[in-house]
Amino acid sequence: RKAAAQAAAGEEGRTRDGLRIEVCANLGKRSEAAPAVASGAEGCGLLRTEFLFLDRASAPSEDEQAEDYTAIAQALDGRPLIIRLLDIGGDKPAPYLPIPAEENPALGLRGIRVGLAQREMLVPQLRAVLRAGAHGPVKVMAPMIARVDELRSVRAALTAEAASLGLPMVPLGVMVETPAAAVMADALAAECDFLSIGTNDLTQYALAMDRGNPAVAGSIDGLDPAVLRLIGLCCEGAESHGKWVGVCGGLASDPLAVPILIGLGVTELSAAPAMVPEIKALVRALSSQDCRALALEVLQVSTAAQVRVLATQMIEGVG
């Protein structure tokens, strides 16, 4: 399997019956981009920009951000780069962010809520993203969206900054990390360019289990049928507006989840860099029709254990 994975590195992600599935890497710093491409990543489906913002006394300037995003776009050499807007807040504090301690940080000021409340954080980042867009196919996405209004506010800010810089817009995506966003995916898809499912947060919020609480974190399972039904709803909603759906959470790196996600309608998988060769080789061994049949089956079962049995049969079937 290792050899097959290496051999697939230079090929494109496509099921054996011809469905194009982009296999990308999640990146968390500049130096990871070139090695990810070398191991077969077809782009970056999630740039976690927190690396620029944490462990420092003040926020990075627009110029500093533009330089980093541009360097990453250049290292990707024409491949897509999806930059996630800052996702810090109560759970990942920065000393210069005036967010008081919260009793429930997972339900508090985090993700896009921070940027919308503190425009001095959001605006320089949007401008830096737009500037990097001159150097490659850059897209931007907003974390922790729960309502269409939030998407509208981000789009308005992005449009205003593009006009002020005299630069073209970049495509704007929504991260589906709240059950509300999954359920409202059709309404969101009507007003965004793509959706990317953050299965780590989507799972924690669907199951109401805190990722950071050791008493429950071990029971969090992205293959829970509740999560898979939300992903299915999200794909249906996006499809009704002709928008594509990616997965950038941990499920995209889980071989058992990959055929299910493809069967539900996901067409981009952004995995941990080390998993890219294996995930791409797996995609190339799968039949999208079989994935579809598997997805329909898992939507009927009631436990994660049953999902695992069905997915394991499928994976064993492709060797």
Instruction: Using alpha carbons only, give the angle 170, 96, 61 rounded to the nearest 5 degrees.
Output: 40
Distance, CA of 279 to CA of 26 (rounded, Å): 13
**Residue 48 binds: one of Mg ion, ligand PEP, none (C-beta under 5 to 8 A by kind):** ligand PEP
- Closer residue to ligand PEP, CB minimum distance, 40 or 143: 143
Cβ at position 246, least distance to ligand PEP in Å: 10
Distance, CA of 137 to CA of 82 (rounded, Å): 9
**Residue 248 near ligand PEP by CB under 6 A:** yes
Residues 6 or more apart from 202 whose CB is under 8 A from it?
Answer: 176, 177, 178, 179, 182, 227, 230, 231, 249
Q: Which of 133, 225, 232, 249 binds ligand PEP (CB under 6 A)?
A: 249
Nearest CA-CA partner of 122 in 150, 163, 100: 150
Tokens describing residue 43: 């782009």
Q: Which of 198, 225, 259, 265 binds Mg ion (CB under 5 A)?
A: 198
**Residue 201 near Mg ion by CB under 5 A:** yes
Residues 144-183 that bind Mg ion (CB under 5 A): 177
User: What's the full length of the chain, in residues?
Assistant: 319
Q: Which of 22, 42, 161, 201 binds ligand PEP (CB under 6 A)?
A: 201
Residues 148-177 that bind ligand PEP (CB under 6 A): 177
**Residue 248 binds: one of ligand PEP, Mg ion, none (C-beta under 5 to 8 A by kind):** ligand PEP
In the Cβ-directed half-sphere of 41, how many Cα atoms lie within 13 Å? 30
Positions touching ligand PEP (CB under 6 A) are 46, 48, 87, 177, 198-201, 248-249
